Amino acid sequence: MHKKLFIPGPVDVAPDVLEQMKKPMIGHRFQECFDLFESCVKNLKRLMFTKNEIIISTSSSTGLMEAAILNCVKKKCLNFSCGAFGERWHQITKNCGKEAKKVEVEPGEAITPEIVEEELSKDDYDAITLTHNETSTGVTNPIYEIAEVLKNYDNVCFLVDAVSSMGGIKLEIDKLGVDVCVFGTQKALALPPGLAICSVSEKAIKKAETIENRGWYFDFLNLLKYARKFQTPATPAISLMYALDYQLKKILDKEGLENRYERHKKLGEIAREWAKKNFELLPKEEYASNTVTCVKNTRNINLKDLKEKLAERGYAFATGYGKVKETTFRIGHMGERTLEELKEYLNTIDEILGF
């Protein structure tokens, strides 16, 4: 029995989207594939509010996070972390052989513009990394305010993980001045895992031109040489691209972006109200995410038992992650999830726990 996924990703995929992946295969050097790539890029730019170049990679988002470091950090990077995925940026930077400084806040706290300003003023950096929406703690960092700080540091590339926010929370890439924005298909876009996407600014491209040892698979200059012809250097996941093309049109032209953001906002409000009534939110509410809610297990309920009982009723439940793994649980509410489905899920938890 399929369990409805109320986890922070992957998320449930609509049958009509999955149906697109049954289309007959085409060669990745065929015009049909170039046309498919071009259509995806055109609508990804609309989704991201950008004129920057777009890379579509057959990989996880982590692959393009690594690409951002390899291509935009020559010597030293400043990694801001408010959870497990901020920590991942730091580990990637170090494993790529780059000098890295990690600035970390307590779980549930956000990276504020004051923190960013203070740290940037202390040293010279090639880039900073930021997790826009930290899935492990349910924190959405105030990226618009942080972007204002970055405008005073022209030589610093702004590298952003928008993995669990793009398509659910509004992000205007050009307005923000983000140089590399990375996300995957399996979260707020409500597609299967397997494709990662990033936008790349002119500043990021110029930085890549000065850096040796960018690898091959994730070399921006090589990827963009092909992307400008609506191609990829290696064989892409064509079936996933069919689904991506279809879903982008569905999001942009049927639901509409503003309606999608509003739906996610209401989903977040429902989850937060339930959490505050029965437990306690981990993040401060002003920084709480609209795609995933992190709840402190203040009642010390048996989460393993709850997970098993929810599975019997057809639901997938997410426990905590990272440093707060043992003390929290998470509610994923992104993609195509409806208000009625979320309410039904929360009511089921109430029934199981006797609330």
Do 321 and 245 share a structural domain? Answer: no
Regarding whether 325 and 249 lie in a shared domain, the answer is: no
Looking at the structure, tell me whether residues 227 and 300 fall in a common domain.
Answer: no
Report yes or no: 90 and 127 within 8 Å, Cβ to Cβ.
Answer: no
Q: Work out the mean pLDDT of the chain and round it to a whole number.
A: 97
pLDDT per residue over 35-74, tens digit each? 999 999 999 999 999 999 999 999 999 999 999 999 999 9
Are residues 33 and 26 in contact, defined by beta-carbon separation less than 8 angstroms? yes
The long-range contacts involving 17-21, CB below 8 angstroms and separated by at least 24 positions, are 17/190, 17/191, 17/243, 17/246, 17/247, 17/250, 18/192, 18/243, 20/239, 20/242, 20/243, 20/245, 20/246, 20/247, 21/192, 21/239, 21/240, 21/242, 21/243
Q: Are 222 and 270 in a shared domain?
A: no
Query: In the chain, what is the greatest distance between 2 CA atoms, to the nearest angstrom?
Result: 61
Q: pLDDT-derived band of residue 204, with 50, 70 and 90 as boundaries?
A: very high
Domain of 20, CATH number, reads 3.40.640.10
Question: Which of 205, 226, 253 represents a domain boundary (last residue)?
Answer: 253
End of a domain among 203, 230, 253?
253
Last residue within a domain, chosen from 208, 225, 253 = 253
Q: Are residues 274 and 239 in the same domain?
A: no
The pLDDT tens digits for 219-237 are 999 999 999 999 999 999 9
Residue 301 has pLDDT above 90, yes or no: yes
Q: What does the pLDDT read at residue 222?
A: 98
Please state the rounded mean pLDDT for residues 149-157: 96
Token pair recorded at residue 62: 């982590």
C-beta of residue 292 within 8 angstroms of C-beta of residue 330: yes
For 287, the domain range is: 4-10+257-353
Pair (50, 164) in one structural domain: yes
SS3 8: coil
Tell whether 135 and 97 lie within a shared domain. Answer: yes
**pLDDT tens-digit map of 243-263:** 999 999 999 999 999 999 999
Q: Are residues 193 and 228 in the same domain?
A: yes
Q: Please say if the pLDDT value at position 1 is more than 90.
A: no
In 96-209, which ranges are E strands? 99-104, 127-131, 133-134, 139-140, 157-161, 180-184, 196-200
pLDDT (mean) for 104-112: 98
Same structural domain, 101 and 231? yes
pLDDT in tens, 75-96: 999 999 999 999 999 999 999 9
**Count of the separate structural domains present in the chain:** 2
The answer on 229 and 182 residing in a single domain is yes
Distance CA 181, CA 173 (A): 8
135 & 178 share domain? yes
Task: Check: CB of residue 345 under 8 Å from CB of residue 6.
Answer: yes
State what percent of residues in the chain have pLDDT above 90: 100
* Residue 98 and residue 84 share a domain: yes
* Distance from C-alpha of 271 to C-alpha of 295, rounded to nearest angstrom: 9
